[in-house]
Amino acid sequence: MAETATSIEKETGKIPNVETFLPILTFFLEKYCDLLYRDAEKIRAEWSMRSSYAFDKEVRIKVENEMIYGITRGIEENGALRLKMENGDLRIIHTGDVEQLRAEN
C-alpha cells in the first residue's frame, strides 16, 4: 500500500516559511469553519465533487487490522464514507486508509 501521510515540505520540496504559511492556513481554516456552521451540505458537496473516491469507485480500506473491499457510495452527513459491500450491504466507514483498486478508463 502506498504511503498515506505527507507534509508540505515533501509535497513542494521546500520547507514552508511559518510567518507566510500560518496566516494563509488560518484564513482558510476560518473560512471553512464559518462555512461549516452556515452550510455543511455545501462543504460535503464540494468535497464529493473533488474527491476521486466519493462515488462508484472500487476500493480497499484498511481499518485497524481488517481489509474491507467495496464500492464507494458517497459520504454521510458527518463525513464518513458509504461503502457498498460485495453482499450488497451498506457499511459506513469512519476511519481508515483508502486505496482505489481499478484505474479509471
Q: Nine-digit cell at 40?
A: 455543511
Whole-model pTM above 0.75? no
pLDDT truncated to tens, each residue of the chain (105 aa)? Answer: 445 678 889 889 999 999 999 999 999 999 988 988 898 888 888 878 887 777 889 999 999 999 999 999 998 888 899 999 999 999 999 999 988 887 654
Q: Nine-digit cell at 20?
A: 507566510
- Asked if CATH classification 2.30.30.100 holds for the domain at 53-100, the reply, yes or no, is yes
**Residue 19 CB coordination number (10 Å):** 7
Rounded to an integer, what distance in angstroms lies between the CA atom of residue 103 and that of residue 69? Answer: 15
**Three-class HEC string of the chain:** CCCCCCCHHHHHCCCCCHHHHHHHHHHHHHHHHHHHHHHHHHHHHHHHHHCCCCEEEEEEEEECCEEEEEEEEEECCCCCEEEECCCCCEEEECCCEEEECCCCC
| Domain ranges for the chain | 8-49, 53-100
